Amino acid sequence: MIIFHISGVFFGRFMSFLTIRQIQWSFVCTRRRIIIMHMADALLSPAVAGTMYVASAVAGAYSIHEIKKDEDFKKKIPTMGVMGAFVFATQMVNFTIPGTGSSGHLCGGVLLSSILGPYAGFLSMIGVLLIQCLFFADGGILALGANCFNMAFYGCFIGSIIWQLIMRNGMSKRKITISSISGSIISLLLGAFSVTVETLLSDITQLSFKAFVGAMLPIHLVIGLVEGLISAAVLCFVYEARPDILWNPWDSDNKEKINKISYGKFIAVMSAIFLIIGGGISLAASQNPDGLEWSILRLTGDTKTLGHEDKIHDSASQIQDKTSFLPDYSFKDNDTWKGTTVSGIVGGIVTVAVICGAGYLIRFSQKKRKSDDDEQD
């Protein structure tokens, strides 16, 4: 019963938090398009897409290298899985930005790095984006490297730097809120600017660089503010329930604070929350275009004829058509709300399995490396 009580308290605060800030929700009972700030393949040339793959792969490899040095990494793996699933679910819930005709959603990098640290957080975000791309056709395969960099790298690494600076002399709800808001705004602005640079380098001539920047940055400033407030609400909940889970390498006293629930109950609570969000609350998502699509529509009036079309892009599209069993978070041959609900639940469970599976593989490699080092000694 305590699990349902804590879940209810969290949802009460979460939903009242959104209501206070007049975020509008559009409830629908038929299939709706879930719009998320992921770049499509057409916005990138093969050269730029390949470069961004390399950049994200280097960051990912470095993260794995650093994680293997963490003796407590094994304890983080269940948290990586359940929080990754939470981010997956919340990314399905777009909120309307009043007075703009646009919408936004939680990116999640700042949230994950504040709990897991930059390295585990970044790898968890890669898992989320990979699942969305392959299984739900959300974001192009060619654009996956760019999406990992724009949405995960800045949030996890820049966000973690801000978190460390603010939490250096101790943790409090006020500091958590300041860190979440500033980290979210800065990381989203950097991500939005990177999108404009990537399209410029890809020679998307329909988008004037100056005009595109002028459209992208203001709307993502607002989206970043809302993400920061939502992230702060979640992190303050964690701070109250399990303060030792929050990442802060300098605040050893934080680990001595009283935990109100056990670790197992925390995982159960967060699991229940991501299932409810993905399977139910996702039906309430705004129908308005997200910040990226809204910006493109303002400048061109169309997104379907924009960008590159060649054999490489066609091949990537064909591969994605085969791997995505719930494209656009719906059944291929059924346009009802059931597809969205199934997508939210299945996607969350798959996210837990993939991230935890990858985590335990890294852990196995970590143990093997340590064993080999011991034998050499």
Give the per-residue pLDDT at 377: 55
Cα angle for residues 163, 123, 242 (degrees, 5° grid): 50
Give the confidence band of 372 by pLDDT, cuts at 50, 70, 90: low
> Hey, what are 255's tokens?
């680990």
Cα–Cα distance list, 229 to 8, 46, 174, 180, 339 (Å) = 19, 37, 12, 7, 30
With a cut of 60, say whether residue 31 has pLDDT above it.
no
> Residue range 290-313: average pLDDT?
84
Least trusted range by pLDDT, from 161-170, 232-241, 298-307:
298-307
> Residue range 315-324: average pLDDT?
94
Give the confidence band of 376 by pLDDT, cuts at 50, 70, 90: low
* DSSP calls for 79-103: HHHHHHHHHHHHTT--EEETTTTEE
If phi > 0 it is left, if psi is from -120 to 50 it is alpha, else beta; for residue 127 that is alpha
CA dist 87 and 200 (Å) reads 29
CA dist 155 and 62 (Å) reads 16
Percent of the chain clearing pLDDT 70 (strictly above)? 85
Give the per-residue pLDDT at 269: 95
Contact 136, 329 (CB under 8 A): yes
> Which is nearest to 85 in space by CA: 115, 128, 118?
128
Give the per-residue pLDDT at 107: 94
Bridge-based pairing of strands 102-104 and 95-97 is: antiparallel
Phi, psi of 208 (to 5 degrees): -65, 130
> Hey, what are 350's tokens?
């798959």
Say what the pTM is: 0.88
Which residue type sits at 341? T
Q: Is 177 helix (H, G, I), strand (E, B) or coil?
A: helix
Give the per-residue pLDDT at 1: 46
Beta bridge partners of 43: none
How many CB atoms are closer than 10 A to CB 371?
A: 10
Share the mean pLDDT of the chain.
Answer: 87
> Residue range 292-319: average pLDDT?
86
> Which is nearest to 84 in space by CA: 58, 115, 60?
115
Percent of the chain clearing pLDDT 90 (strictly above)? 72
Segment 33-73, tens digit of pLDDT: 444 568 889 999 999 999 999 999 999 999 999 999 888 89
Per-residue buried b or exposed e for 56-85, using 16+ beta carbons within 10 Å of the residue's own CB: beebbeebbeebbeeeebeebbbbbbbbbb
Segment 203-245, tens digit of pLDDT: 987 889 999 999 999 999 999 999 999 999 999 999 999 999 9
Give the per-residue pLDDT at 253: 54
- CATH annotation of 38-369: 1.10.1760.20
